[in-house]
Amino acid sequence: MIRLEEYVPIVGQSVIDDLKLIAARLKGKTIQHINSTSVGGGVAEILNRMVPLLQELGVDTRWDLIKGGEQFFEVTKKFHNALHGYSSEITKKDFEIFLETNQRNINEINTSGDIVFVHDPQPIALVKKKRDNKWIWRCHVDVSNPDEKVWSFLMDYIARYDSAVFSAPSFSRRLPIRQFLISPSIDPLSDKNKELPQDIVDAVLLKYKIPQDKPIITQISRFDRLKDPLGVIEAYQEVKKHIDCRLVLAGGGAADDPEGAMIFTQVMEKTKNDKDIHILLLAQNDIEINALQRASTVIIQKSIREGFGLTVAEALWKAKPVVASNVGGIPLQIKHKYSGLLCHSVTGAAFAIKQLLNSPVYAMKLGENGREHIRNNFLITRHLRDYILLFLSLYYPEDIVHLG
């Protein structure tokens, strides 16, 4: 595993010393993270990196998963879409399935941590087990315009927590409990983000038969309607009329997302007649994702809704010019025309891509600015500090003046 001292060349010794100092105040406290999957998606990715680092800091940390079947994850996907503002026919039976699964997990999971840190809606009802310990609900999705029926249902549980955490200011809601703003982060030393020699990049392109004879536009994302892969294809097709280029759509699925196969089929159908479109279904291969991003001329993230969009931070960390939708947490990462270009439509995305392909010096400058913006704001060391201060705020609220 990566050690804290290995981050010193990137963030400086003082940052690591500060982490050790504040973590010492959590001595004797146990932190228990709970979510629905260990692979796929940003939550699992962050916890896989963060839990060992917290343990190295001397913070007693563990990570538990709830169990759910196919029906449960179909329901929680409906919840996910509804919270993002998409109308979804959610029935009484759906709510019953959700509650039945949560009740089974309430019976099975030992929630004895001093601080129980619950991630997203899937395990939210576990708070019914709250006794004399502290509970935090972490919302990773965009709830700026949720379906009111689902939000009202969840509020019955959110109100029982001690604090809630959101990723962007626009997600904040009127709540009877304290709220914190903590943006997600990337790990610059993970396989997905570390520096790669050119021969590895070349080998990955060769493996997937992607020639380097023309500019490469890439979106790395789950095959999810909210990531709008069909819209990405349409933007590429508009660019292609003016500039010869290739499109790479690469990603995998998450264990708690049953819609992925259907969206993947739609993408394959829409692209079957274009030899310059490369559709890659990657099985959590972070080195390959890293290589594909580094080989790209422009990275796109054309989400319709987005909790935060860590793929944007990953691309910016590699100093790549990025075109991304002005939704969710993406505007926190991209300052328009400084660290990337924001768009609002397929036409806008196509225009921005053409601008970058026609102005390589400008594209390079955006990428350089983007890398420094990520270094200063969205690396895992900052995220660790915010979480430690959050934990301390539950016990020493008078000492925590600012967080986020």
How does pLDDT run across 342-397, given as a tens digit for each residue?
A: 999 999 999 999 999 999 999 999 999 999 999 999 999 999 999 999 999 999 86
Q: In whole angstroms, how far apart are CA 299 and each of 223, 233, 270, 386? A: 16, 13, 20, 29
pLDDT tens digits, 334-351 = 999 999 999 999 999 999
| Cα(380)–Cα(187) distance, integer angstroms | 5
List 181's β-bridge partners, or say none.
Answer: 166
pLDDT tens digits, 18-43 = 999 999 999 999 999 999 988 777 88
Q: In whole angstroms, how far apart are CA 60 and each of 32, 163, 211, 331, 388? A: 9, 20, 48, 34, 12
How confident is the model over 98-122, as a mean pLDDT? 96
191 within domain boundaries = no
| Cα(58)–Cα(295) distance, integer angstroms | 39
Q: Above 90 in pLDDT, residue 251?
A: no
| Separation of CA 52 from chain center | 19
172 within domain boundaries = yes
207 and 177, same structural domain? Answer: no
| Cα(157)–Cα(142) distance, integer angstroms | 18
| Cα(201)–Cα(198) distance, integer angstroms | 5
190 within domain boundaries = no
Percent of the chain with pLDDT over 90: 81
pLDDT band, very low/low/confident/very high, at 253 (cuts 50, 70, 90): low
213 and 135, same structural domain? Answer: no
78 within domain boundaries = yes
How confident is the model over 185-202, as a mean pLDDT? 97
233 and 118, same structural domain? Answer: no
pLDDT value of position 401 = 45
Q: Above 80 in pLDDT, residue 97?
A: yes
295 and 222, same structural domain? Answer: yes
Residue 86, judged by CB atoms within 10 A of its CB (0-12, 13-18, 19+), counts as middle
402 within domain boundaries = no
| Separation of CA 276 from chain center | 28
Q: What is the CATH number of the domain that holds 355?
A: 3.40.50.2000
List 166's β-bridge partners, or say none.
Answer: 181
pLDDT band, very low/low/confident/very high, at 173 (cuts 50, 70, 90): confident
Which of these, 197, 187, 376, 374, lies nearest to 299 by C-alpha position?
A: 374
Could you tell me the strand order of the sheet in which 277-281 lies? 277-281, 246-251, 216-220, 298-301, 322-325, 341-343
The two counts, helices (H) then strands (E), for the chain are 15, 12
180 and 221, same structural domain? Answer: no
pLDDT value of position 199 = 97
Structure tokens of 144? 């700026």
Q: Above 90 in pLDDT, residue 254?
A: no
Which of these, 131, 149, 129, 15, lies nearest to 82 by C-alpha position?
A: 149
Q: Are 217 and 186 in contact (CB under 8 A)?
A: no
Q: Give the range of the structural domain holding residue 287, as residue numbers without chain letter.
A: 198-377
404 within domain boundaries = no
How confident is the model over 42-64, as a mean pLDDT? 94
176 within domain boundaries = yes
Average pLDDT, the chain: 93
> Following CA atoms 222, 226, 229, 231 in sequence, which dihedral angle do they give, to the nearest 10 degrees?
-170
How confident is the model over 281-287, as a mean pLDDT? 85
Start-to-end CA span in the chain (Å): 27
Q: In whole angstroms, how far apart are CA 348 and each of 14, 356, 364? A: 42, 13, 20
pLDDT value of position 402 = 47
The CB-based long-range contact list for 280-284 (8 Å cut-off, 24+ gap) reads 280/208, 280/248, 280/249, 280/250, 280/251, 281/223, 281/250, 281/251, 281/252, 282/250, 282/251, 282/252, 283/252, 284/39, 284/40, 284/252
Q: Above 80 in pLDDT, residue 398?
A: no
Q: How many CB atoms lie within 10 A of CB 129?
A: 16
Q: Above 70 in pLDDT, residue 399?
A: no
Q: Are 217 and 349 in contact (CB under 8 A)?
A: no
192 within domain boundaries = no
Map 101-160 to HEC letters.
HHHHHHHHCCCCCCEEEEECCCCHHHHHHCCCCEEEEECCCCCCCCCHHHHHHHHHHHCC
pLDDT tens digits, 290-346 = 999 999 999 999 999 888 999 999 999 999 999 999 999 999 999 999 999 999 999
Reduced to 3 states, what is the DSSP secondary structure of residue 166?
strand
166 and 147, same structural domain? Answer: yes
Q: Above 60 in pLDDT, residue 232?
A: yes
Read off the pTM: 0.91
Count: domains in the chain: 2
202 and 162, same structural domain? Answer: no
Q: Above 60 in pLDDT, residue 400?
A: no
The C-alpha angle with vertex 250 and arms to 353 and 231, in degrees rounded to 5, equals 45
If you ran DSSP here, which 8-state letter would residue 397 be given?
Answer: T
216 and 155, same structural domain? Answer: no
Q: Which residues contact 333 (CB under 8 A, 6 or more apart)?
A: 309, 312, 313, 316, 324, 339, 340, 370, 373, 374, 378
pLDDT band, very low/low/confident/very high, at 258 (cuts 50, 70, 90): low
Q: Are strands 341-343 and 322-325 parallel, antiparallel or unpaired?
A: parallel
254 and 181, same structural domain? Answer: no
99 and 75, same structural domain? Answer: yes
Q: In whole angstroms, how far apart are CA 230 and each of 224, 244, 260? A: 10, 19, 13
pLDDT value of position 320 = 98
202 and 142, same structural domain? Answer: no
Q: Are 271 and 237 in contact (CB under 8 A)?
A: no
Q: Above 70 in pLDDT, residue 141?
A: yes
pLDDT value of position 193 = 97
116 and 228, same structural domain? Answer: no
| Cα(236)–Cα(245) distance, integer angstroms | 8
